């Protein structure tokens, strides 16, 4: 058990002590890794009952499959160097009104059936005309309001008055 706990403690500060730049700088030979995707906890029930918005409140099936995947990966020989989990981790749970993402390197989004897709531009390299920045999201029991701030605005102005009032009302 201690070895297992120590293994998980090696990943922090966006690095993994077993995969340092110094240790991995030079090619040392072939290796393999596992890429898995979309455990999407809650989706199976939602599809089964035909309620994509409110039906994702049970995760037992996906949890069992995820455990099966982990057990299978742990049995692989040679052992993979690492595992990458991509895609949707959870399905929209009841009450979800917005999904926030990045990777497009510009601000974008849309709305379908009351679900907002909000794409936030990058802190780093921009692919459009948006400034480098972050999105502040205020969530109350009745609303989700978000604003994109350039890094300059964030440091100079801080939070918009509307968002400040929303957060103080809670």
Tens of pLDDT along the chain (170 residues) come to 455 556 566 666 666 677 778 888 888 888 888 888 888 988 999 889 998 777 888 889 999 999 999 999 999 888 888 888 887 877 865 577 888 888 889 999 999 888 899 999 999 999 989 999 999 888 887 888 899 999 988 878 777 888 888 878 75
Query: Is the whole-model pTM more than 0.75?
Result: no
- On the CB side of 42, CA atoms within 13 Å amount to 15
64 Cα distance to chain centroid? 21
Report residue 18 as tokens: 């077993």
């Amino acid at each position: 058990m201690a070895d297992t706990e120590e293994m998980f403690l090696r990943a922090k500060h966006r690095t993994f002590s077993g995969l340092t730049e110094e240790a991995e700088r030079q090619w040392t030979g072939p290796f393999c890794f596992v890429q898995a995707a979309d455990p999407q906890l809650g989706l199976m029930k939602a599809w089964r009952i035909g309620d994509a918005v409110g039906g994702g409140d049970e995760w037992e099936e996906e949890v069992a499959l995820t455990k099966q995947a982990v057990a299978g990966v742990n049995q692989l020989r040679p052992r993979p160097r690492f595992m990458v989990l991509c895609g949707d981790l959870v399905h929209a749970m009841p009450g979800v009104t917005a999904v926030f993402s990045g990777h497009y390197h510009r601000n974008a989004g849309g709305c379908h059936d009351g679900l907002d897709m909000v794409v936030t531009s990058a802190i780093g390299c921009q692919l459009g005309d948006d400034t480098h920045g972050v999105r502040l999201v205020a969530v109350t029991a009745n609303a989700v309001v978000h604003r994109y701030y350039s890094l300059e605005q964030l440091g100079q102005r801080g939070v918009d008055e509307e968002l400040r009032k929303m957060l103080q009302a809670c």
